[in-house]
Amino acid sequence: MLLSPGQRILRAVAAWAVVMLFAFPIYYWVTVSIKLDREIFSIPPKVFSFETSAKSYEEVFGISLGFEQGLSVLPGGGDFYMTPRLWDSIVIAVCSTALAIVIATLAAYALSRMRFRGQHHFVFWILSTRMMPPVAVAIPMFFIYRDFGLLDTYHGVILIHALMNMPLAVLLLKSFFDDIPKEIDEAALIDGASRFLVFRKLVLPMAMGGIAATAVLCFIFSWTEFLFVLTLTQTGLKTVPVVSSTFVTSTGTAWGNMAALGTAAILPAFIFILLVQKNLVRGLTLGSVKQ
């Protein structure tokens, strides 16, 4: 259906309004990270015109951003030095996402292509584990981790995050595999290919869009998870959501430092989405149109 010039203009204005509605909070949060302390709470708020300072980034990341001396590394330390915690979050999110996707891909393909007694009940059980609130298992997991020596370890947090994302990943990937015609598998099996070869050479490349979309969701859920990291770590390992609470002190909240860490925390997720964007849209729309 062709739109009139007035309708096209109205649609463009509505689209930009929606974009600005979602982009403005991010813009304001970024500006808070570079504002002087006295201007963060100014009334009325200074949205576009304000004095800037790199003090928050220097304290949080131990780098100097002065224009005269350029970018230089400062000695790490201080109450708000968070660069190691940012790396902790990146390692945990990437590794847990990779582990969850590898296991969930194999499980989802098996559930999509093979039939066994009680399969529907098994799928519902997988879904029910996702519905269970994390707080219900946080304390039991603490005692299990304590007995196995997994407290405050990378592999312990990676394992619990992968376990947390597994049900969602399996169900999403199963729906993507269901949309790939089974006749492809049957034809290759008749020609003498093994089941694993069919999966690796034929089905897996066709499902890369769905895998990318699932990986993005798993990465974001792991990146923003708070309760398990708070419960299963002590002092040697923390992620961004947990250490953000340390900016609230007895003398007040360090909003500038918190905004600096929050701004930096957006970048890894944004970069990860850019890396998989080629397959992301195709994965999100896979199966939306039926012939």
Let me know if residue 153 belongs to a domain. yes
Same domain as 30, residue 88:
no
Same domain as 155, residue 58:
no
Let me know if residue 78 belongs to a domain. no
Last residue of a domain, one of 25, 41, 73: 73
Let me know if residue 213 belongs to a domain. yes
What is the DSSP code string of 226-277? -HHHHHH--SS---HHHHGGGGEETTEE-HHHHHHHHHHHHHHHHHHHHHHH
Same domain as 271, residue 187:
yes
- Compute CA 104 distance to the chain's CA centroid, rounded to the nearest angstrom: 17
Q: Is the pLDDT of residue 29 over 50?
A: yes
Contact 221, 163 (CB under 8 A): no
Q: Is the pLDDT of residue 66 over 70?
A: no
Provide the domain count of the chain: 2
Q: Is the pLDDT of residue 62 over 60?
A: yes
Let me know if residue 59 belongs to a domain. yes
Same domain as 268, residue 146:
yes
pTM of this structure: 0.81
Same domain as 281, residue 181:
yes
Kindly report the CATH number assigned to the domain that includes residue 211.
1.10.3720.10
Per-residue pLDDT band for 286 (boundaries 50, 70, 90) equals low
Last residue of a domain, one of 73, 106, 124: 73
One-letter identity of residue 174 = K
91-127 pLDDT, tens digit per residue, is: 999 999 999 999 999 999 999 888 888 888 888 888 8
Let me know if residue 87 belongs to a domain. yes
Same domain as 143, residue 31:
no
- Using CA atoms, how far apart are residues 139 and 136, in angstroms rounded to an integer? 7
**End-to-end CA gap in the chain:** 22
Most confident of 83-92, 111-120, 153-162: 153-162
Same domain as 38, residue 97:
no
What is the residue range of 133's domain? 83-285
- Using CA atoms, how far apart are residues 89 and 239, in angstroms rounded to an integer? 5
